[in-house]
Structure 1
Amino acid sequence: MRDVPTIQGDLARAVTDPAAYADWDTLLDTFDHIRAAAPVVKVLPDTDGVFDPFWLVTGYDDVMRISKDNQTFLNNPRAVVFSLAEGIEFARQMTGGSPHMVASLVTFDAPIHMKYRKLTQEWFMPKSLRSVEDAIRALAQATVGRLIDAVQNNAAEVDFVPLVSAPYPLHVVMQIMGVPEEDEPRMLMLTQQMFGGQDEDLNQSGMKDMTAEQITQLVAGAVKDFEAYFAAITAEKRARPTGDVASTIANATVDGQPLNDRDMMGYYIILAAAGHDTTSASTAGAMLALARDPEQFARVKADRSLLAGIVEEAIRWTSPVQHFMRTAAQDVEIGGQRIAKGDWLMINYVAANHDPSHFSDPRTFDAARSPNRHLAFGAGGHQCLGLHLARLEMRILFDVLLDRIAAIELAGEPARSKSTFVGGLKTLPLKITPS
């Protein structure tokens, strides 16, 4: 029997501790070390029962293979996001047995996954998105206008995250969903509680060292608030349907039956939450890269055809969705390791998108990188539904920003969120010179 490569102790904590993901360069060093030793490695807890052992997959080719093989590597029946055992048990108690606090496209497997995906898929295709480009540009102009006002009132420093990269994608996705603008602050708070549950600055709890159960309770509370809000939206859209995504979901049927409450609420939540934090992280990452490189800023300001490269590289470089978990449906070999049926695997997009065997000088932000077939949107049947929207709204925002800004520079050290799942900058202090 061949030896199974394992990691434990400090190295395992560097992969599973939310705080480790806030120290980006050290995290990348860790993944480089692990990948060089064994691109597929078993991660073990120091104490039995803290978390279930899992296979960490760090190489690009292996992550791509797993992402595209949705028959062998399932999103069910185990948790699709890494969680400590007590958090998973709490979720099961809350849901009546499921490890998923929210039932959504992210947790479904075939054949139900594609049936649900098709309900809104056309909404997020480039042809359909052209109809909302003008509305998105208006939101971008309003957002940048508020940024310029803040700059003029406080020329020393502004924080790009709360002023621009957090609210802007939320405005966009809420408008597409048909959520009233006055309800957006509530949606922002709930998305931060769902995805910022591991970071005391984002979860709005005031608690620095929450236990796994406390984090899960916070997320559960946000889910309940989401469900209460969208239950009211559903009633309204069924009584008076309009041409938005919420109306499509509220009145949808699968196999001739309306969506059950849990699946419907999960659909709303995944669109509202996932469509916000991920684009926010990529947007802030692009701004950081431009602030660090005045020459690149000048080039893209003069030639907007370079914007597509800026956007794509920002998405790879930041990798906002940092991992997903999969469950092996059968015995299989990956990266030279024998994976048994039922084993849990972490496909780590941060590691894959910084794999030097696939990306030359991966830590460098290179807007001219080509090809740039990154894995930040996943691949295969579970590839991100909103990838075209994310690219569009980022391109429009930076087109507007570049019209209004003559120069940018860092005004302090940016800080990343503490999160193993969705992560990115939580602060980006800038000094901005308006045009």
Structure 2
Amino acid sequence: MSMPTVDDAANVLADPTAYADEPRLHAALTALRARRPVARVEAPGYQPFWAITRHADVLAVERTDRVFTNWPRPVLMTARSDEMQAAIGIRTLIHMDDPQHRVVRAIAADWFSPRAMKAMGERIDELARHYVDRMRDTGGECDFVREVAVNYPLYVIMSLLGVPESDFPLMLKLTQELVGSDDDELKRATPSDETASALLEMFAYFKDLTDSRRANPTEDLASSIANATVDGEPLSDIDTMSYYAIIATAGHDTTTSSISGGLRALVEHPGQLRRLRADPGLMPRATEEIIRWVTPVKAFMRTAARDTVVGDVTIPEGDSLLLSYVSANRDEDAFKDPFRFDIEREPNKHVAFGFGVHFCLGAGLARMEIGKFFDRLLPRLRSIELAGEPELTATTFVGGLKHLPIRFELD
């Protein structure tokens, strides 16, 4: 990888197209880790921020959540989008800090607990088998992302929420428009404000769902959110809608990216594929390596609550920091040979799920979905190869493959 200048490398972090060009992205991040691991970024159209690219520094910021807050800027967006989301008043879990975050997170925590995951295991295994069957039924050639990978985790998370199956296509459209707003293929056809428009449509849908669950509670996550109280008071409409939105998007697109990116990695590393097929007991470690390799959540933001130091750089109070998970997960100081896909990697202290109080609520569910899908696929897989060029989503937040053409034989 050729080394770009430090300034060019830093600006890559605010360029959605860079995340669709992995050689360019990783050349830039490698340069930053080596030469300026805490880098000031002043990209056109964005409020300035500090890019944090080393694994150790990302962990240090995550550990000190009272110094580095999620509010008011948890995600890198254009300055215009920052203003629009503030005007809408969206407040998801990723916008909140303790103690509010801890109380609101608890509303859904039981649904993602180890006990809940154990209870869901059989159903997720059935769904994994069903979608491997659907893959077989494509006739031996398909776009794995569009025909398989997007549907399996969508079905899991929407069923958990209690969304009717007839509305799954609408939810797929809205979640992809939200996380794909920087991608020319995935974003809305409207000329501007794609993210706000998709978000408002999703909010309108979940407002109707909330009214229904408050009138007639059912045994699903939507009812738990709709009827939750904090300090004896129900959640506000905006907090309720925001809760649904983060569950729907985070529970779907990230797992889709991990499964499709994991399959691509196994196809491109046939020795690793043979090793995993020969020893299915490696699946837990392989799952962690897939998640590290793909890193579907590319970054989160934090804001300094006071003057403080990261690395050897003083961050003034009020300044924003971008925690580059995709960089931290390829840090040479944290991982041996980080650009090698290794299903037996151990230890594997990746930060793809974050760290500390904001560790991903649905991490256990994502791990289960990934592991069970490959548990069902690999014993039936006789052959597999790429049938075209994989294509990645343009993004600065959540993303992965949007197309993965493959040719295969399944029993």
Q: TM-score range by the shorter chain?
A: over 0.9
Distance in 2 separating the partners of 1:406 and 1:263: 48
Conserved in 1, the CA contact under 8 Å of 2:75 and 2:299?
A: yes
- Give the distance between the partners of 1:187 and 1:38, measured in 2 at CA: 41
1:126 aligns with 2:114: yes
Q: Is the 8 A contact 1:59 1:351 kept in 2?
A: yes
Residue 66 of structure 1 pairs with residue 61 of structure 2: yes
SS at 1:106 equivalent: helix
| Aligned residue in 2 for 1:315 | 291
Counterpart pick for 1:112 among 67, 84, 100: 100
Give the TM-score taking structure 1 as reference length.
0.91
Paired with 1:372 and 1:200, the residues of 2 have a C-alpha distance of: 34
Supply the distance in 1 between the matched residues of 2:226 and 2:372 (Cα, whole angstroms): 30
TM-score relative to the length of structure 2: 0.96
- 1:422 is the counterpart of 2:406: no
Tell me what 2:28 maps to.
30
AA matched with 1:111: P
Equivalent residue for 1:57, pick from 33, 52, 56: 52
The alpha-carbon deviation at position 140 of structure 1 amounts to 1.4
Match of 2:409 in 1: 433
Alignment partner for residue 360 of structure 2, among 377, 384, 389?
384
Deviations 1:367-422 (A, max 9, x none): 11100010000000001000000000111111111233222111222111000100
Distance 1:33 1:180 in 2: 48
Q: Are 1:334 and 2:310 counterparts? A: yes
2:37 aligned residue: 39
Contact 2:329 2:350 in 1 (8 A): yes
Do structure 1's residue 159 and structure 2's residue 143 form an aligned pair?
Answer: yes
- The structural deviation recorded for 1:204 is 4.4
2:157 to 159, 173, 180: 173
Question: How many Å apart are 1:45 and its aligned residue?
Answer: 3.3
CA distance in 1, matches of 2:170, 2:220: 20
Partners of 1:7 and 1:43 within 8 A in 2: no
1:88 maps to which residue? Answer: 82
Q: CA deviation at 1:91?
A: 2.9
Q: Is the contact made by 2:132 and 2:376 (CA closer than 8 Å) also made in structure 1?
A: yes
- Tell me if structure 2 keeps the 8 A contact 1:328–1:341: yes
Query: How does 1:193-342 map onto structure 2 within 5 Å?
Result: 193-205=177-189, 214=192, 217-342=193-318
* Residue of structure 2 equivalent to 1:21: 19
The answer to whether the 8 A contact 1:7-1:44 is kept is no
Aligned residues: 407
Aligned to 2:172: 188
- SS, match of residue 385 in structure 2: strand
Residue segments in structure 1 that go unaligned for 5+ positions in a row: 1-5
User: Could you list the runs of 4 or more consecutive aligned residues of structure 1 that deviate by over 4 angstroms after TM superposition?
Assistant: none
Shift of the alpha carbon at 1:7?
A: 5.2
CA distance in 2, matches of 1:277, 1:352: 21
Query: What is the CA RMSD across the aligned residues, in angstroms?
Result: 1.5
Query: Which deviations, in whole Å up to 9, do the C-alpha atoms of 1:250-290 show, x marking residues without a partner?
Result: 11001110010000000011001111011111111110111
